[in-house]
């Protein structure tokens, strides 16, 4: 609870949740397909040392787009398009939760 009142929690009981993992490497790869019903997208770089780069409109490239450092994640809201990714090395697992 905040000092100004209770914190808001949104409930989406009708939402569908999909969990998956995709292994990517040092070349552009599809990470998540477009989904017009998507509400939120959670992505986490599950590698201990390699970074990934996310693209929301074209081919993923190293040092362009959004960089997700090793071990970090991102929550994306209000975006229903496809996501592509590339990693700084082979065998990089990206954990995905789509609501």
Domain assignment of residue 11, yes or no = no
Domain that holds residue 41: 23-98
Of the candidates 88, 77, 71, 70, the one whose C-alpha atom is nearest the C-alpha of residue 27 is 88
> Residue 73 contacts by C-beta under 8 Å, 6 or more apart in sequence?
42, 43, 44, 45, 95
pTM, two decimals, is 0.83
CATH of the domain at 45: 2.60.120.770
Q: Are 29 and 21 in contact (CB under 8 A)?
A: no
- Residue 45: burial class (beta carbons within 10 Å; 0-12, 13-18, 19+): buried
What is the DSSP secondary structure assignment for residue 97, as one 8-state letter?
E
Residue 6: its pLDDT value, please?
Answer: 53
Instruction: State the total domains in the chain.
Output: 1
Residue 77 — pLDDT band, cuts 50, 70, 90? very high
Tens digits of residue pLDDT in 2-59: 455 455 444 454 569 999 999 999 999 999 999 999 999 999 999 999 999 999 989 9
């Amino acid at each position: 609870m905040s000092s100004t009142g209770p914190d808001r929690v949104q409930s989406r009981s009708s939402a569908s949740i999909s969990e998956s993992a995709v292994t990517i490497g040092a070349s552009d790869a599809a990470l998540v397909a477009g989904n017009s019903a998507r509400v939120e997208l959670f992505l986490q770089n599950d590698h201990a040392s390699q970074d990934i780069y996310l693209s929301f409109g074209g081919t993923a490239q190293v040092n362009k787009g959004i960089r997700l450092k090793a071990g970090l994640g991102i929550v994306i809201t209000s975006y229903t398009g496809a996501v592509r990714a590339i990693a700084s090395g082979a065998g990089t697992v990206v954990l995905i939760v789509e609501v």
